[in-house]
Amino acid sequence: MRIIRISCFTCLFLLLGSCADEIVIVDSGPEIPNRPNILWIVAEDLSPIIPPFGDFTVETPNLTRLAAEGVRYSNVFSTSGVCAPSRATIALGNYQNRIGAQHMRTMRPSSVAPFPGQLTAYEAVPPPLVKMHSQYFREAGYYASNNAKEDYQFRKPITAWDESSGTAHWRNRAPGQPFFSVFNLGITHESQVWVQQENPLLVAEDLEVPVPPYLPDTEVALRDIRQVYSNIVAMDRQVGEILQQLEEDELLDNTVVFFYSDHGGPLPRQKRLLYDSGINLPMIIRFPDGWRAGEVDDQLISFVDFKSTALSLGGIKPPDYVDGRAFLGDFVNSPERSYIHAAADRLDAQYDTIRAVRDSRYKYLRNYNIDRSYYLELPYREQMAIMQELLRLRDAGQLNEAQAQWFRAQKPPEELFDTENDPHELNNLAMDPSFQGKLAELSAEMDVWLDDIDDKGLIPEVDLIEEFWPGGIQPTTLAPLVSHLSGMVYVSSATPGANIGYQILTGEQELNDTWQLYLEPLRLSPEQRLFTMAHRIGYAPSEVVRYQEN
């Protein structure tokens, strides 16, 4: 980065304020400590196939303990069947297709670009006021750490985390400082179904495993399904290590612990799709006071609710721009959900626009590319032996009716499933006269949702890139302006929505990766040097400005 050296000068400042609507506070449930620690333990690619949610194929003593001491949420849904769009939603509190983060992935599509020379790497550019969840915690005095997956569809702003790395940990905070810490456990990721084949299984080689009706039960397929459960065993051990560290630090009694996964399962016809197998996930929340320990909560919850809820538990008012609701904490201010919404868009080189609305029982899918087959070739997924087995059986004409459904050449415009009686979503009820009322209800709800969010997935991606980065050039955040008045140093940026970070150094100290949040004027001693930088999400960060009083 290039550093601009400046001395004192005068500049104009815009003081931005907002008027919030009055919030009605209702009973938030648990009695938790003031400014509790918030810990997120995030598995990857995991459906609710663990003992706390009724699948006893393997033992998970640490998750089972967590569930016994916490609340199991049985109707939690990601907004996408794949990680990057879902993580954008979690981080910002907006649907990925509202903010242009719906395609997988935006920041490195070059190896899978469907239109060579047209589709380039880009970052989603949300509206100016949108900030990451972690930044709100930092602004409230929390230590925010992420270990270590990011994948937000945009480069994290410099002000997002105190630390985001493989060594990030709440233990790196100042003594007594509350923390918001995220640990990402990759062992259950889709790739580990084939990568871990090099290692011995952590389960019996002949373990009896449940086989969904849309997958084959050949020995090749069973081996991969056993690997999924073996990876769950490994993940549970990692959960135990994190909880043990929390107990060693005597922090369990003032920490709200979340366990969840970033979307549904890793197997074919699970990940990337909007069936419940792709978007339904397990979530457990353990509260310090043992609130509702061991209970199951079946309210509908969406990833878009996570940011508001975490902030609310920390006593931080969620911003007005979020799409989600806080379902816990000080700022629970709306009734439980009637619907969740989800979207599928580009996956690697394949476009297949699908939108979903689900209530507590019925799922409605709207297919925009009805001339495309359900199954779309993805070389990454085809590294998995069970996927290769499905293709072998397809080519040999040996798939049964349920397995063959995924390979149909076309899709109907609408699909409707009764997830209670048809949990694998194999029987489309959209043409059944007895379900036309439910079809009309969910279709109308989808129209309302799409209109509300101004769905950016319904415009060509090349046009979206031009909207975000005119001429294919990423906009750059304007460098901070620094001035000195009445012994105080003021910093601003003319870029709307710019987040400003700073470091104060003395002597031989050098710049590091941790930028403090600029929230109020600073006082400098003559020997101190101020380095400041501005960064709006989706823009390139500014140059670094160096300032020292003369």
- Reported as a single tens digit per residue, the pLDDT across 330-372 is 999 889 999 999 999 999 889 999 999 999 999 999 999 999 9
In a domain? residue 41: no
pLDDT score recorded for residue 400: 98
Give DSSP secondary structure letters for 457-516: GGS-HHHHHHHHSGGG---BPPPPEEEEETTEEEEE-SSTT-EEEEEEE-TT----S-PE
Structural domain of 508 = 1-28+475-550
142 Cβ neighbours under 8 A, 6+ residues apart = 35, 38, 177, 178, 179, 180, 314
Calculate the CA 355 to chain-centre distance: 18
Query: How far, in Å, CA of 479 to CA of 453, rounded?
Result: 32
Token pair listed for 191? 């790739």
pLDDT score recorded for residue 501: 98
In a domain? residue 19: yes
Q: Which residue ranges of the chain lie beneath pLDDT 70? A: 1-28, 109-118
pLDDT score recorded for residue 9: 32
- Reported as a single tens digit per residue, the pLDDT across 143-178 is 999 999 999 999 999 999 999 999 999 999 999 999
- Reported as a single tens digit per residue, the pLDDT across 275-292 is 999 999 999 999 999 999
The pTM score is 0.94
Token pair listed for 260? 């969840």
Work out the number of other CB atoms within 10 angstroms of the CB of residue 433.
Answer: 7
pLDDT score recorded for residue 18: 34
In a domain? residue 34: no
- Reported as a single tens digit per residue, the pLDDT across 377-419 is 999 999 999 999 999 999 999 999 999 999 999 999 999 999 9
In a domain? residue 111: no
Nearest CA among 373, 368, 379 for reference residue 460: 368
pLDDT score recorded for residue 449: 98
Beta bridge partners of 284: 72, 259
In a domain? residue 20: yes
Please answer whether residues 531 and 501 qualify as being in contact, where contact means their C-beta atoms are separated by less than 8 angstroms.
Answer: no
In a domain? residue 6: yes
pLDDT score recorded for residue 550: 73
| Structural domains in the chain (count) | 1
In a domain? residue 14: yes
Active site residues: 83
In a domain? residue 281: no
pLDDT score recorded for residue 3: 55
CATH number of the domain where residue 500 is located:
2.60.40
pLDDT score recorded for residue 434: 98
